[in-house]
Amino acid sequence: MRFDLLTIFPQLLDSPLNEGIIKRARASEALQIETHNIRDFALDKHACTDDRPFGGGEGMVMKPEPLIAALQAVHKKTPGGHVVFMTPQGRPYNQKLAAELARRPHLVIICGRYEGVDARVEEYIDDEVSIGDYVLTGGELPAMVLIDSITRLLPGVLGCDDSAAGDSFSRGLLKHPQYTRPRVFAGQTVPEVLISGDHGAIAKWRLAQSVNRTRVRRPDLLEKAAFSEDELRGLKADGTDTKGLRHRQKQKIRLDIALVHYPVSNKNNEIIGSAITNLDLHDIARASATYGVDTYYVITPYADQQTLAREIMAHWQSGHGAAYNPDRQEAFRRVEVLGSLAELYGAVTKKWHGRPLVLATSAAKQTADLSYHKVRQRLAAGERMLVLFGTGWGLAPEAVEQVDAFLPPLGGEGYNHLAVRSAAAIILDRLLG
């Protein structure tokens, strides 16, 4: 992330930009910051940056020429920056706007002084931001607020990617009280539950504390927060007032998997169709039922193979098999046999009213582009996904081409030949377990 700052008081920014996490982020190159003195771009011999307002009135107005000359110098050196003007008239700043701005690779921040800036600079500006309804003497401290709050959202800046997600505002509740050593300070002791080692009880206690604090200090936030069924039950059981708390609908998991028998590679890198195996059919169906996969698709173009698969399933779904093992009947209820990847994409797109994200594992040393953690989060948030499992020596290149993203390979060093049903079980546990 790059910031260019335009100001008439660059020295004002020196120490906030050279301490702590921001200093470390700049050293790691996650963050580049350059300050520019608008006065250096003033043409007259007094290097004047302000003048009296046309039409009369109190105070001075920032002149357009030096400011725009500075802005154009920045654009010339590093093109494409999103220009943000700090002003009391801007969009109210909050965590959501911080996250929005953090997604941009380059911000150019203009810090105003005096009573305002000549209105003709407006057309050079992409965004206006205010940090709140109180009057400051200029935009420099607001710019520091932006940089500080955006920096800590950048990947790799806080030790763990999740520390930013665990903040006060990320779920719309205030943080619970926190304690460290000593256990007794000036007669006050640390709550017993925090020393119990019972992580479930600690999480429940913290949520109750967050809710109670938010109710007292920021009732406006409590109205917007949402709670899962489990959370509401836990809060109520421990005597926390749950009146007025909004209930969050549990997201339906929209995950399908497909076992692809064609097109796959053999060990000579030729494209082949592999044979359906009884074990893969049974075991992956049982794993799918266990973890809540919506449909387990079995893809084979061969009519005899399709018939074989359907006969195996029919045995367990009706007659002797069903009576003998009703759980197997339940598992096979979510299996569907289709003839091609094209049919598969058609079926899932129709079922979910839109094409899901298509994933595969990168057994063939493909670079992984989505972590299991990330996919797990996105599934929990309701995103549609389809995971392809290649049989034989893996999906053929023409099938790989249609994949949107790859999961990291399973296993460790050396020997790496998991059965596809083992891989499917492990991946399902990582994504849904």
The catalytic residues are 88, 115, 152, 167
**Structure-token match 């950048």, residue found:** 154
For position 53 contacting ligand 9D3 by CB under 6 A, the verdict is no
CB of 29 to ligand 9D3, least distance (A): 28
Contacts with 412 (C-beta within 8 Å, 6 or more apart), sequence order: none
Smaller CB separation from ligand 9D3, 92 or 354:
92
C-alpha–C-alpha distance, residues 297 and 334, integer Å? 8
For β-strands 335-338 and 357-361, DSSP reports them as unpaired
For position 66 contacting ligand 9D3 by CB under 6 A, the verdict is no
DSSP state of 80: T
Of 298, 310, 301, the C-alpha closest to 272 is 301
22-30, 86-94, 228-236, 375-383 -> range binding ligand 9D3 (CB under 6 A): 86-94
Smaller CB separation from ligand 9D3, 58 or 413:
58
For position 87 contacting ligand 9D3 by CB under 6 A, the verdict is yes
Q: Which of 10, 66, 81, 142 binds ligand 9D3 (CB under 6 A)?
A: 142
For position 64 contacting ligand 9D3 by CB under 6 A, the verdict is no
CB of 8 to ligand 9D3, least distance (A): 12
Query: Residue 37 belongs to what H/E stretch?
Result: strand 32-37
112-120, 216-224, 349-357, 391-399 -> range binding ligand 9D3 (CB under 6 A): 112-120
State the Rg of the chain over Cα.
Answer: 30
CB of 117 to ligand 9D3, least distance (A): 9
- Tell me phi and psi for residue 51, to 5 degrees: -155, 170
C-alpha–C-alpha distance, residues 155 and 177, integer Å? 27
CB of 114 to ligand 9D3, least distance (A): 7
Cα first-last separation, the chain: 35
Q: Which of 31, 84, 86, 276 binds ligand 9D3 (CB under 6 A)?
A: 86
SS3 403: coil
For position 116 contacting ligand 9D3 by CB under 6 A, the verdict is yes
Smaller CB separation from ligand 9D3, 9 or 352:
9
SS3 109: strand
Helix 229-237, helix 199-217: angle, nearest 10: 90
C-alpha–C-alpha distance, residues 190 and 180, integer Å? 8
Residue type, 259: L
For position 112 contacting ligand 9D3 by CB under 6 A, the verdict is yes
The 119-138 contact track toward ligand 9D3, x by CB under 6 A, reads -----------xxx-xxxxx
Q: Which of 81, 139, 234, 273 binds ligand 9D3 (CB under 6 A)?
A: 139
**Structure-token match 């002149």, residue found:** 63
Smaller CB separation from ligand 9D3, 96 or 320:
96
Return the structure tokens found at 427. 């991946």
How many residues bind to ligand 9D3 according to rule CB under 6 A?
16
For position 381 contacting ligand 9D3 by CB under 6 A, the verdict is no
Smaller CB separation from ligand 9D3, 66 or 263:
66
C-alpha–C-alpha distance, residues 174 and 346, integer Å? 45
Site residues for ligand 9D3 per CB under 6 A: 86-88, 112, 115-116, 130-132, 134-139, 142
